[in-house]
Amino acid sequence: MAEKGRVCVTGAGGYVASWLVKLLPSRGYRVHGTVREPGDVKNAHLKKLDNALENLQLFKADLLDYSSIHTAIVGCDGVFHAASPVPSGTVLNPEVELIEPAVTGTLNVLKACSEAKVKRVVIVSSIVAVRMNPNWPKNQLLDETCWSDKEYCRETKNYYCLSKTIAESEAWEYAKRSGLDVVTICPTLVIGPMLQSTVNTSSQFILRLLKGGSESVENKVLNIVDVRDVAEALLLVYEKLEAEGRYICTAHKIKTKDLVDKLRSLYPNYNCPKNFTEVDEGAKLSSEKLQRLGLKFRPLEETLVDSVKSYQESGLLD
Ligand code: NAP
């Protein structure tokens, strides 16, 4: 396979980033992966990935430690910035735990990219930087021109949404000022098999639908995308010269109760929730821009079956 050069992936041990770190060597890239604790068991899976020995070099780096980030990025043609805190519950100090690492962390990565003369940076943003806006008319189709309202995120204490919205908007300001080539991907709920041994926040959501029998669950509209398709999307927008701006990344729209019905019919022995509370219709989203670039999404059933297989193998459904 043709050598395609060196790229850096931040937060390499995380759920989404691990799939990208797995994909890149199979497409000819050498990878610099940043992790906070190289020796930690939560990053052990990285060393077991195919070709990891020859193609993956791990760097100890914290987003708030500029020189550690710079060291990992030097020598790379491209950077995929995936590291950002994803909380699983209430956060006591959102400024310190979420906003600072997301925003200052992103700016540190971008500054290091400029210094290292990186050709393109792909940032993993989120749909929560697009759709949290009370002023969007209910039936409007949301596309890449839509931005979440920061004040609304703050007032409603959606600090994760706030952290992703500020981080992405600051990234675009930085790109405008510096001329750095930045592209962002805004995925919806990411599910699919896990490579890592610790359960990430979005996988917890599906596990709850397989185990949370007695809980009452909101019957909201879910927009879902497979983690392997997100990794493909990140590489696609990196490689396609014509890629520019933001890309919403979502494949399937389904109500929670319908998803639970699907899971129950595939796995009748698991204890899926039976009680649902009705909530307002969710946003209408389009991934047309990404699909026009050439991305194909896998069927939802494949995502569900592979997710459950991975949870079973990790003993999470015992
Ligand atoms: P994850 O498994 O929790 O990964 C987050 C990664 O960020 C971890 O590797 C974590 O490292 C790293 N990180 C956090 N704070 C850091 C810091 N101060 N310095 C260095 N690294 C830091 O979650 P994920 O789902 O893969 O999320 C990856 C990206 O996708 C995030 O940007 C997230 O906002 C975005 N996203 C995820 C979803 C989803 O449904 N999963 C949807 C849309 C967007 P440690 O392991 O050391 O904590």
What was the pLDDT predicted at 103?
Answer: 98
Q: Which among 15, 86, 205, 248 is the best mutation to test ligand 1's pocket, defined by most ligand atoms within 8 Å of the CB?
A: 86
Q: Could you tell me if residue 209 is inside a domain?
A: no
Q: What are the backbone dihedrals phi and psi of residue 5, each rounded to the nearest 5 degrees, phi first?
A: 100, -170
Point out the ligand 1 atom lying closest to the alpha carbon of residue 13: 9
Give the chain's domain count: 1
| Strand pairing category for 221-226 and 189-191 | parallel
pLDDT for 108 equals 98
Residue 128 CA: nearest ligand 1 atom is 43
CATH of the domain at 60: 3.40.50.720
What is the CB < 6 Å shell around ligand 1? 11, 13-17, 36, 42, 62-64, 82-86, 101, 105, 124, 126, 164, 187, 189-190, 200, 202
Segments of the chain assigned E as strands? 5-10, 29-35, 56-60, 78-81, 120-124, 141-142, 182-187, 189-191, 216-219, 221-226, 245-249, 252-255, 275-278, 284-285
Known active-site residue 164: yes
Q: Looking at the domain assignment, is residue 229 inside a domain?
A: yes
Residue 258: count other Cβ atoms within 10 Å of its Cβ: 13
pLDDT given for residue 294 in this prediction: 97
Is residue 219, in this structure, part of any structural domain at all?
no
Q: Which of 19, 42, 84 to mutate for ligand 1's pocket (most ligand atoms within 8 Å of CB)?
A: 84
**What range does the domain containing 292 cover?**
5-188+225-250+282-297
| Full pLDDT tens readout for the chain, 318 residues | 778 999 999 999 999 999 999 999 999 999 999 999 999 999 999 999 988 889 999 999 999 999 999 999 999 999 999 999 999 988 999 999 999 999 999 999 999 999 999 999 999 999 999 999 999 888 889 999 999 999 999 999 999 999 999 999 999 999 999 999 999 999 999 999 999 999 999 999 999 999 987 788 999 999 999 999 999 999 999 999 999 999 999 999 999 999 999 999 999 999 999 999 998 777 899 999 999 999 999 999 999 999 999 999 999 998
